[in-house]
Amino acid sequence: MKLLSIIIPTYNMEALLPRCLDSLVSAQHADVLDVLVVNDGSKDASSAIGHDYEERYPGIVTVIDKPNGNYGSTINAGMLHAKGKYVKVLDSDDWFDTSALDKMLEALVTLQADMIVTHFSQLGPGSAKEVVRYNTMGREPYEYGRVYDLDAVLKDEYIRFFLMHALAYRTELLREIAYQQTEGISYTDTEWATLPVFHATSICFLNLNVYQYNLDRGGQTMAPEVLMRSIPQLEKVNRRLVAYYREHKDGLSAIRSCFMKQYYENRMRILYKLYLLDMPRKDFRAEDLQRMDDELWLICKELGLLPVLYPENKLLRFDYIKYWHKYHRRWPRWFECFNHCVDVVVKWLYVHIFRR
């Protein structure tokens, strides 16, 4: 029996794919892994590398070659072949901590939960490392290894959102809800972290740092310059999330509905942040933001949302969205520079005190 299917979306990753796969096949319990390398029409040697591992590790590694269809299409293709009790996504430029993976596999033998949540590391330039845990300033609210009712966890509003790197789902849950990601665009990992939460009933947290998220690679989708070009894709994902809420809202508990609305406020906050804080001033076009704002504000009225955008440092309580609605322009340059300096200092302190 396979305990964990790992879907690895792969596009032109010949340089990094071996590191990713080695972190899996070297596991002590690799025989219970179902590693699915989904080659999304790569033009380099990614497919050949995947097939080499498939030959060397039969019954563990499987390669799925398909025409290019972008990120969501690789997840959909992988789900068709997943054999594991649980399923998790691993991008091919990232890797798992092998020791933590082994411990996770040992836990999955007896676990019965719809969602499994683990820690992950964000790895930046040089030796920069930030461990992302589902705690705040050292507080650990949930007992590791215990299965909780999901609504019981969400009702305290301690968790505001989940991230793809932390999540594994019960495979049959995803099949029961006919889970599909939007194809043809990037950033659909947001759907992975959101749509199954509508349907899951149980959750378990494990005190393991499994996923190693590599942010030190030029051209990746989360690079600022790529994000700026990809705002239309982010907007498309947002529309999918809203459409899904409209379709399934009647079956949600009051707790789950509140959590989802809170999550959607956060997604809209991210879109506003790209325009009002992150976008270089030379690229900013007020008419582009106004178009998006008109659409988002109609959704906010429909769902009863009120997104606010405060500086990340939480010290300066100025709402950028409110300022935009009043003056239809960004904050003065001097204020943005001052705010950025405060953000950097507060972020450094937080990471070095709580996320090391």
**What is the sign, positive or negative, of the torsion defined by CA atoms of 99, 103, 104, 105?**
positive
Q: What is the pLDDT of residue 278?
A: 87
Contact 212, 96 (CB under 8 A): yes
Domain boundary among 214, 247, 279: 214
CB 250 within 8 A of CB 309: no
The single residue listed with the structure tokens 């972190």 is 23
In the prediction, which pLDDT does 287 show? 95
Q: How do residues 204-227 score in pLDDT, each as one tens digit?
A: 999 999 999 998 776 677 767 777
- Answer for the pair 115, 167: CB distance below 8 angstroms, yes or no: yes
Is 202 in the same domain as 231? no
Same domain, 234 and 269: yes
CATH number of the CATH domain containing 81: 3.90.550.10
| pLDDT reported for residue 313 | 67
- Residue identified by tokens 């998220």 is 213
- Whether pLDDT at 62 is above 70: yes
Q: Coil, helix or strand for 162? A: coil
Domain carrying residue 287: 224-354
142 and 231 share a domain? no
86/156: higher pLDDT: 86
pLDDT value at residue 345: 83
The reply to whether 156 and 278 lie within a common domain is no
Q: Which of 214, 232, 248 finishes a domain?
A: 214
pLDDT > 60? residue 136? no
Share of the chain above pLDDT 70, in %: 94
pLDDT, mean of residues 115-131: 89
> What's the confidence (pLDDT) of residue 341?
86
Task: Inform me whether the pLDDT recorded for 350 exceeds 80.
Answer: no
* pLDDT of 184: 92
Model pLDDT, residue 75: 97
Q: What is the per-residue pLDDT for 138?
A: 61
User: Where is the domain boundary, 193, 214, 235?
Assistant: 214
What are the CA-CA distances from residue 243 to residues 127, 139, 224, 237, 256 (Å)?
Answer: 41, 35, 27, 10, 16
Does residue 77 belong to any structural domain of this protein? Answer: yes
Asked whether residue 315 falls in the same domain as residue 246, the answer is yes
Number of domains within the chain: 2
My answer on whether 300 and 181 are in the same domain is no
pLDDT in tens, 259-316: 999 999 999 999 999 999 888 899 999 999 999 999 999 999 999 998 988 877 666 7
108 and 231 together in one domain: no
Tell me what pLDDT residue 354 has: 64
Residues 159, 55: one domain? yes
